[in-house]
A and B are shown apart, each in its own frame.
Chain A
Amino acid sequence: MTRLSVIPEQDQPTSNSPALVIDGVDMVFSRAGHAVHALNGIDLNVKEGEFISVVGPSGCGKSTLMKLVAGLRAPTNGRISILGEPVSGPRADVGIVFQNPVLLPWRTVFENVMLPTDILKLDRTKTEATARDLLALVGLGGFEDAYPNELSGGMQQRAAIARALAYDAPILMMDEPFGALDAMTREQMNVEVQRIWQASGKTIIFITHSIPEAVFLADRVVVMSARPGRILKTFDIDMPRPRTLDDMVSNNFGDYVKEIRALLGSGTEGGQNDAQSNW
C-alpha cells in the first residue's frame, strides 16, 4: 500500500528522525475457526514530535494498530520500529490511554495516576506533584482520594489521561480518550492536549471518532477504511499553531472536515461494512 497525500509532503522527513515506522503490517485474528482480517498492509512514518490523528469506521482496527505499536501483540506480517529499534514487546517510553479507562478499583484516583511511577520504579517524590497538577488540569482536583467506582465514566477517562501523562513518555498513544466527555469538556481537553503537546514535544498518535477533533489536533490525519483496515489517505493539516476553538469555524478547517467525511462515506469498498459504523 502506498501512502497517499492530498497535500505534497513538506521538507522535514530527512531532518527529523522517525519516531515510529510501520511497514507493511497485517493483522489477522482467528476467531471461532475463521480468520478476521483486521489490518491490511499498513504503512506509516511518524516523525519525532509529530501529532497524528487516526480516524476510521468502528471495527476497522484502530485499537488493534495501537496495541501492535505498543508491543502488546505481534503483527501477522510486517515490521514496526520505534526510534529506530524494532518493536519486540512493550516499552516504557510509549505511554498509552486505552479506549476504556482501565483504572484499578482498589487504588484511589491519585494512586491510579501513580501506578506507572510504581511499576517503572520512578522517584515518587518527583512525580507526586506532577500527578496532582495533572489531576487538577483534567478537572479532577479534589477527587484525588476518591475511588474509581465513585467517578462518572468521563471522570474515569480523564483520570486515565492524567495517568498516561504523569510519567514522561516521549511517545503517547491515545485511543478515543474523549469519547465519554460532553462537548464542552471535550473541546477544552482538545485545547489542553495541544498545549501539552506543544510544551512537551511529545510524539502523539491520537485515535478518534470525531473528524473535527482529528483535524483540530493533528499535523496529519490518517484515514482508515472499514475492515480489513487499510490507510485510505493521509491529510496534512496546514493550519498555524496554536489553533484555537475559533479556528474550527474557519473555511480551511471546514474544507478538511468535509473532505475527510466524504472519503469515509465512500471509503468502504473492499471491506465488510460493520453495521455499527458511526458515520
Chain B
Amino acid sequence: MTLNQTGNETVPAYVAPNFREKCASGLRYSLLPTVVFIGLLIFWETVVHVMEVPGYIFPAPSAVGKAFYHGIASGVYFIDLGVTAFEAVFGFILGSFLGIALGTIIVIFPLMERIVYPYVVALQTVPKVAIAPLLVVWFGFGISSKVIIVGLVCLFPVLVNVIAGLRAVDDERLDLLAALSATRWQIFRHLRFPNAMPFVFAGLNTAIVLSVIGAIVGEFVGATKGVGFRILQANYSLDIAAAFALFVLLSLMGLTMHSTLKFIERRTVFWTKSQDIRDS
C-alpha cells in the first residue's frame, strides 16, 4: 500500500509536465507554422518593396490579397469557381466510376484484361495535355469537354488500384470463405470488395489531385469560363496579382476536395490506416 501512496503523491507532479508538454506540442503544431507563414509573407512584402519589383513581374502579398478580396466581393470568383469545381468533381466521379467498373470487370473476366488493358495503358502513356485540344474540338468549349478530360485523367489511378485491391486477397481469408462453400459472388461481396476499399481510396486520393489539374488544362486549351480561363486572362493583361489570387483560390478548392475525400475515407475504411499505393 505504500507503493500506492507514493503513486498518489506523484500524480500532480506527473500532470504538470504533461500539461506543459501539451502546450509545447500545441505550439509546435499550430503556432510555429503560422509564425513561419506570416514571417514569409512579411519577408516577401519587404523584398518586393525594397527591390522595387514591378507588380507585373512579381506582386506583393498585399496586392494579391487586394485582388483576392476584389474577386470575392465582386462575385466573379464564385461563377468561375463553380464551373471549375463542377468540371473537377463530375470528371472525378465519372473517371472513378469507370475505373471501378472497368477494374471489377477485368478482375472477374481475366480475358477482358488482355482485350481492354493494353488500350488503357496506351491511353495512359499519351499525355492528356496532348489530346486535350482534340477533345475540345470534339466536345466544344463548354463544360462537357473538361469533364471528359478530367474523367480520363482520373480513370487510370483508380483502375490500377481497384485491380490491385480486388486481387490482393489474403489466402487464409479465401480459405475461410471457401470452407463455407461460398460462391464466387459471395467471395466478391464479402471479401474482395471490402478488401479493395483501402486501395480504391488510395487511387481516389491520387485522382482528386489530378482532377483539378485536368480541369485547368482543359480550360487552358479552350474555355469561356472557369478559374483556368481567368488565369489565362489575367496573364494576358499582365494582372499578375489577380493570377496569384486565382492560384490561392485553386489551392483552397483542391484542399477542400482533398480533405472531404479524406473525411469520407476515414469513415469508410476505418479498419486501416490509409495506404498510399500510387499508380506509377
Contacts and interface: CB of A to CB of B under 8 A. Distances in A.
B177 interface: yes
A98 B175 contact: yes
Given A105-B272, A119-B186, A147-B271, A94 B179 contact: yes
Greatest chain A CB density within 10 A among B175, B269, B270 is at B175
A96 B181 CA distance: 12
A119 B182 contact: yes
A89 B183 CA distance: 12
B175 A116 contact: no
Nearest to A95: B179
Contacts of B176: 96, 98, 102, 115
Contacts of A91: 181
Contact of B175 (A72, A118, A119): A72
A100 B172 contact: yes
A13 interface: no
A72 B179 contact: yes
B180 interface: yes
B180 A116 contact: yes
A12 to B, nearest CB: 29
Interface in B168-222: 170, 172-173, 175-182, 186, 190-191, 194, 197
A118 B186 CA distance: 9
A235 to B, nearest CB: 29
A92 interface: yes
Interface residues of B, number: 20
Contacts of B197: 106
Contacts, number: 53
B173 A104 contact: yes
A104 B174 CA distance: 11
Nearest to B183: A119
Q: How many A residues are at the interface, by size bracket?
A: 20 to 34
Nearest to A163: B176
A90 B197 CA distance: 28
A89 B26 CA distance: 59
Contacts of A200: none
A98 B271 CA distance: 22
A249 interface: no
Interface in A124-147: 147
A96 B197 CA distance: 27
B179 A149 contact: no
Interface string A36-72: 0000000000000000000000000000000100111
Contacts of A89: 181
A62 B276 CA distance: 38
Interface in B68-88: none
Contacts of A98: 172, 175-176
B181 A90 contact: yes
Given A102-B173, A119-B186, A149 B271 contact: yes
Contact of A119 (B170, B181, B194, B271): B181
Contacts of A90: 178-181
A70 B190 contact: no
A196 to B, nearest CB: 20
A118 B177 CA distance: 11
Contact of B180 (A104, A105, A120, A149): A120
A115 B182 CA distance: 11
Given A104-B190, A106-B194, A119-B190, A67 B271 contact: no
B266 to A, nearest CB: 14
Contacts of A116: 180
A91 B180 CA distance: 7
Nearest to A121: B186
A102 to B, nearest CB: 5
A279 B269 CA distance: 42
A96 B180 CA distance: 9
Contacts of A148: 271
Contacts of A94: 179
A149 B271 CA distance: 7
Contacts of A71: 179
Contacts of B181: 89-92, 119-120
A69 to B, nearest CB: 11
Interface of B: 170, 172-173, 175-182, 186, 190-191, 194, 197, 269-272
16 contacts: A67-B175, A70-B179, A72-B175, A92-B180, A96-B179, A98-B175, A98-B176, A102-B170, A102-B172, A102-B173, A102-B176, A104-B191, A115-B176, A118-B190, A119-B181, A148-B271
Given A115-B190, A119-B180, A148-B271, 16 more contacts: A71-B179, A72-B178, A92-B180, A98-B175, A100-B172, A102-B175, A102-B176, A104-B173, A104-B194, A106-B271, A115-B176, A115-B180, A118-B190, A119-B177, A120-B181, A149-B271
